[in-house]
Every structure is written in structure tokens, then in C-alpha cells.
Amino acid sequence: MRQTVTDQELIREAMEARKMAYTPYSHFQVGAALLTAGGKVYRGCNIENAGYTPSNCAERTAFFKAVSQGEREFTAIAIVAGKEGEELIHTAPCGVCRQVMMEFCEPETFRILLASSPEDYEEWTLERMLPLGFGPKNLA
């Protein structure tokens, strides 16, 4: 049975994920909630590292958790972010995260919600956020 998750619920999941962020260097905490085609939600947070390059973004954390559990079809992701102790701000995913999204998502229909609260968010498609993106279809 397919579960229905509203945008507001997905954003709340991202807000919960953000609480787990490990950000001792930047103090910029990000939470993501990834929605599968079957209605399951996978949370991710950003995880920093003293070496910086081994750090991982919240969006990729959510994707890698989902993919490692066998998920391959996704419909939306909610992202919340802001400095520790400050208001949330609309924050777009980095280029590497957009590329990971291209690997698993349909650019025309995959929805990216940039939120500061369940009531205050922008909706983007991956295609709009990554025009002319390179993905699996380019290698077919």
C-alpha cells in the first residue's frame, strides 16, 4: 500500500533530520528528507570531517541510506538549513548532490523543496535546478 506524505510532513522530517547534524566546524546544519515512489521517507543530515573532503551533505546521506536499502525510485526531497541556533533559510543543494539526484531521479518530475518551515518553502524541479544535467540517459 502506497503511503501519502504531504510536503509539510516531508519538511518536518527534514527538520528532525537536521537535529542529528554533525557540524563542529561550520556550525551550518542541514537536514534532508527523501521521499521514495512507494511513500517511504529516508532522513539525512550533514556530517563534517576535520579533513573537509570526507564530509557528506544531508542530501547525499539520505540518498545513500535509501539506495543501500534497495530503493531506486524517488519523487521529492525536502531540505532545511541554517547556522546552529539561528533561523532556517532556503538553501539549495550543492552541485555534487544535484549530480547524485540526476543518477536516480527523473529531472522533469523530481521535486526539491527548499524550506525554512512547513509553511514557508519553494518548490523546484531537478531539471530547473540542474539544466542540461548529465545522467544515465546520456550513456544509454
| Residues that are catalytic | 59
| Cα-based angle 64, 20, 57 (whole degrees, multiple of 5) | 40
Euclidean distance between CA atoms 39 and 102, whole angstroms: 20
Cβ neighbors of 22 (< 8 A, separation 6 or more) are: 45, 46, 47, 48
Euclidean distance between CA atoms 10 and 29, whole angstroms: 17
Cβ neighbors of 95 (< 8 A, separation 6 or more) are: none
